[in-house]
Amino acid sequence: MAKGKLHGKTIIVTGASAGIGRHMVRECAKQGASTLIIIARSEDKLERLKAELGMQYDEVTVDVYPLDIGNLEALQNTFEAIKWQYSTIDVLINNAGFGIFSLFEEASFLDMKTMLDVNVLGMMAATRMLLPKMRQQGEGHIINVASIAGKMATPKSSVYSATKAAVLGFTNGLRSEVRRQGIKVTAVNPGPIKTNFFKIADPEGNYVKNVERWMVSPESVAEKVVAAIGTNKREINLPFAMHAGAKLYQMFPRTVEKIAGGLLNKK
């Protein structure tokens, strides 16, 4: 079997049991990663993914770590163990995250806290735990999955958008801090993806019906993310139409809100 571009690499993927996380793990294995550390809440789903990869890729070691990224104490214990068990960590893909779409005044405090704990604090904590190791190595790549929603907030996603804007702000600041330490930092900003994400975010299915023509496949997102490993790619934005809309929104927010207000209120 030919050695892929990720041969010899040890890669961590959080939120690895489903959606784009699962497809990124598959793509990393396809590209020849030597060790995949897969993290998610569901141990059963992680074990099934490990078994699937074991049948397809003989040379890839897959290690399972069940963890709720929003539980900071458990996260610290898990990542402390990972730091000591593996001599190098080449890539950390902070993919774990979720959203709940609702009017802000109807959002529960628990939902708000959980989104912040998982999408922001968990992502920061995982990065903080591994950053010293990457600095000692003199290299590494941190990839944070944010969202187009972090650039263009829409009705009923105010809290989710706020968490993803925080991911983007953190990612940009971190990139500036570590650029001279051999550590690369990339943000991934997808629009809506055809995954089970919306079973929680949009249980009635209204949003999916309205944006279905712009939805991207998890496979295409995974391919673009894995292709960026080891490069100086600053951001990955897709699909193009939504990225262009977000750019216009940043330059002309009042105009976009006035002209496209109806389109933005589709949840």
- In tens, the pLDDT along 116-147 reads 999 999 999 999 999 999 999 999 999 999 99
Is 4 within the bounds of a domain? no
Q: Kindly state whether residue 110 falls inside one of the protein's structural domains.
A: yes
Comparing 33-37, 207-211, 212-216, the range with the smallest average pLDDT is: 207-211
Convert 213-228 to b/e letters by CB count within 10 Å (16 or more is b). Answer: eebbebebbbbbbbeb
Amino acid identity, position 147: S
**What is the mean pLDDT of the segment spanning 64-83?**
98
pLDDT of residue 1: 46
pLDDT digits (tens, 9 = 90+) for 225-235: 999 999 999 99
More confident residue, 255 or 110: 110
CA distance 13 to 28: 10
175-190: average pLDDT = 96
- Domain of residue 56 covers 10-264
Q: What is the pLDDT of residue 2?
A: 53
pLDDT in tens, 57-68: 989 999 999 999
* Any domain includes 5: no
SS (H, E, C) the chain: CCCCCCECCEEEEECCCCHHHHHHHHHHHHCCECEEEEEECCHHHHHHHHHHHHHHCCCCEEEEEECCCCCHHHHHHHHHHHHHHCCCCCEEEECCCCCCCCCHHHCCHHHHHHHHHHHHHHHHHHHHHHHHHHHHHCCEEEEEECCHHHCCCCCCCHHHHHHHHHHHHHHHHHHHHHHHHCEEEEEEEECCECCCHHHHHCCCCHHHHHHHHHCECHHHHHHHHHHHCCCCCCEEEECHHHHHHHHHHHHCHHHHHHHCHHHHCCC
Count of the separate structural domains present in the chain: 1
Structure token pair of residue 230:
């080891």
Asked if residue 2 belongs to a domain, the reply is: no
211 pLDDT band, cuts 50/70/90, is low
pLDDT category of residue 260 using cuts at 50, 70 and 90: low
Query: What is the pLDDT confidence band of residue 197, given thresholds at 50, 70 and 90?
Result: low
207 counts as catalytic: no
Q: Which pLDDT score, from 0 to 100, does residue 213 have?
A: 55
> Mean pLDDT in the chain?
87
250: pLDDT strictly greater than 90: no
pLDDT in tens, 21-51: 999 999 999 999 999 999 999 999 999 999 9
Q: In this structure, is residue 204 part of a structural domain?
A: yes
Residue 92 pLDDT:
98
The most confident of the ranges 20-24, 97-101, 242-246 is 20-24
Distance in angstroms (rounded) separating the CA atoms of residues 256 and 229: 34
Q: Considering the domain boundaries, does residue 216 fall inside one?
A: yes
Q: Mean pLDDT throughout 60-81?
A: 98
Residue 179 belongs to domain with CATH number: 3.40.50.720
pLDDT at 156: 83
Average pLDDT for 137-161? 91
- Candidate list 57, 65, 86, 160, residue with the active-site label: 160
